[in-house]
């Protein structure tokens, strides 16, 4: 089915969306009548992967329409060729398992990147109908690496839903990059590494992070400091310090309630990756994006809003309810919200916005965007968790944390771009 991505060279987005919608309806209602033999579970009423594949193709075409259709085609090629290559290589070759997901292998990850990257470059070249230059190839191979990594993450959702949207937004954002103003106040790499090594050792000795968290935090902090400067580094530390204090506050009481973070609330490498990976990527793009600071701060605003909502809401919230149905839930139920938790989430987003404004990462007039985006990211995680409870699926905890930073970033991009354009910003386009 991946070869149908080549038709985007001739079809406009409306015709392509109509075909994708027809494929989705076919997979939903007709294929179960005679095609269950190709399902992973022949006894299932529908195959989640087959349905989500068609749904994601439709979403990509609608969101990345007109001049962005080559990007939709490229990500379609990653789904069509990278994912199967990873499965085949993983089963036939085997080999060492990934430390973050023992169900998947290194050879599968590399195969996903290699085959998905090659396919997306060729499909992009054909659909765009223009010669390739080194920069687009590097961009596409970087996108394929992001796609392969996201597919390897344990999430609780189908891989197509997890990997395709962030990769497409990444490619569109990079392709629309404009030179940013000169970024002052950025230390060299060696100074950034030295500063973070010292601070990571101090955090480890203070029992704020585990050994893996100290190492991962030092690397993430050095990356953000070197790429984004001291202002971005201040935002990172605001998130870390306030989030750590909130996790340790009332720890014994939260242990009694069963809502305490394990390991005495010491953060590990997986926590660093979930909360900092997207922000670190955005900091790396800072020389090319004039408005990167809003999006960067929104990632940490969503992360801190979610942390404070969970930690303080479970400590002070005696009554919790479902954000999708309004019914009463036990405090600590995934997705449950409380009024103290919502207030803490709003305060966390506002604190990051204030830090970003004071440190020069965000213009003071744009700070409200960070607050709205951060609060939206935290609320989105609660909605998805609650939907999972109601429809019998469960998000992995670290994936859920990464999800809220992604939502915060997307909301920030949407608001900032809509204001710059003077109208609703849809789909992705240069502003």
pLDDT at residue 259, rounded to an integer: 66
> pTM for the complete prediction?
0.72
Q: What is the mean pLDDT of residues 78-102?
A: 90
Residues written for the chain: 431
Number of domains in the chain: 2
Among 123, 140, 175, the domain-final residue is 175
Q: What is the mean pLDDT of residues 297-323?
A: 90
- Nearest CA to 410 among 295, 245, 312, 290? 295
Residues 13, 65 contacting (CB under 8 angstroms): yes
Is 48 inside any structural domain?
Answer: yes
User: Chain centroid to CA 296: how far?
Assistant: 12
pLDDT at residue 306, rounded to an integer: 93
Q: How far apart are CA 282 and CA 216, in angstroms?
A: 17
pLDDT at residue 344, rounded to an integer: 94
Q: How far apart are CA 171 and CA 180, in angstroms?
A: 18
Among 109, 142, 175, the domain-final residue is 175
Report whether pLDDT(431) > 50.
Answer: no
Q: How far apart are CA 281 and CA 327, in angstroms?
A: 38
Q: Tell me, what DSSP letter sits at residue 401? A: H
Q: Tell whether 330 and 406 lie within a shared domain.
A: yes
50, 166, 224, 334, 361 from 278: Cα distances, Å? 28, 10, 11, 23, 16
Q: Tell whether 243 and 120 lie within a shared domain.
A: no
Residue 18: pLDDT band with limits 50, 70, 90: very high
Q: Tell me, what DSSP letter sits at residue 287? A: G
Q: Tell whether 156 and 209 lie within a shared domain.
A: no
Domain that holds residue 322: 189-421
Report whether pLDDT(286) > 90.
Answer: no
Residue 290: pLDDT band with limits 50, 70, 90: low
Q: What is the mean pLDDT of residues 368-381?
A: 95
Q: Tell whether 306 and 387 lie within a shared domain.
A: yes
Q: What is the mean pLDDT of residues 356-360?
A: 91
Q: What is the mean pLDDT of residues 198-217?
A: 88
pLDDT at residue 264, rounded to an integer: 67
């Amino acid at each position: 089915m991946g070869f149908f991505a080549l038709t985007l060279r001739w079809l406009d987005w409306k015709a392509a969306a109509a075909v994708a919608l027809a494929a989705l309806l076919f997979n939903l209602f007709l294929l179960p009548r005679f095609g269950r033999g190709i399902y992973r579970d022949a006894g299932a009423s529908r195959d989640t992967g087959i349905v989500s594949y068609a749904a994601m193709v439709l979403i990509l075409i609608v969101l990345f329409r007109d001049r962005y259709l080559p990007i939709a085609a490229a990500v379609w090629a990653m789904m069509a060729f990278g994912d199967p290559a990873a499965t085949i290589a993983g089963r036939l070759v085997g080999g060492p398992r990934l430390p973050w997901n023992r169900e998947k292998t290194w050879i599968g990850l590399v195969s996903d990147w290699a085959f998905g990257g090659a396919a997306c470059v060729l499909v992009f070249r054909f659909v765009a109908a223009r010669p390739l230059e080194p920069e687009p190839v590097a961009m596409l191979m970087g996108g394929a690496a992001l796609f392969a990594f996201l597919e390897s993450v344990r999430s609780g959702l189908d891989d197509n839903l997890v990997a395709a949207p962030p990769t497409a937004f990444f490619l569109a954002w990079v392709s629309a990059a404009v030179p940013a103003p000169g970024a002052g106040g950025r230390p060299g790499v060696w100074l950034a590494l030295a500063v973070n090594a010292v601070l990571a050792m101090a955090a480890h000795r203070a029992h704020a992070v585990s050994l893996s968290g100290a190492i991962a935090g030092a690397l993430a902090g050095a990356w953000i400091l070197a790429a984004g400067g001291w202002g971005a580094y201040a935002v990172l530390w605001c998130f870390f310090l306030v989030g750590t204090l909130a996790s340790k506050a009332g720890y014994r009481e939260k242990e009694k309630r069963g809502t305490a973070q394990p390991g005495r609330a010491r953060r590990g490498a997986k926590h660093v990756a979930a909360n900092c990976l997207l922000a670190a990527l955005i900091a790396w793009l800072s020389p090319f994006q004039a408005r990167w600071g809003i999006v960067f701060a929104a990632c940490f605003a969503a992360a801190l809003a979610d942390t404070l909502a969970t930690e303080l809401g479970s400590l002070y919230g005696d009554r919790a309810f479902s954000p999708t149905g309004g019914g009463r839930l036990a405090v600590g139920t995934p997705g449950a919200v409380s009024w103290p938790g919502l207030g803490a989430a709003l305060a966390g987003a506002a604190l990051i916005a204030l830090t970003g404004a004071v440190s020069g990462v965000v213009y003071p007039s744009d700070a409200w965007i960070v607050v709205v985006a951060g609060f939206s990211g935290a609320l989105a995680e609660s909605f998805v968790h609650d939907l999972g409870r109601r429809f019998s699926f469960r998000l992995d905890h670290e994936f859920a944390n990464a999800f809220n930073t992604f939502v915060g970033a997307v909301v920030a991009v949407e608001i900032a771009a809509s204001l710059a354009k003077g109208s609703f910003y849809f789909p992705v386009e240069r502003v």
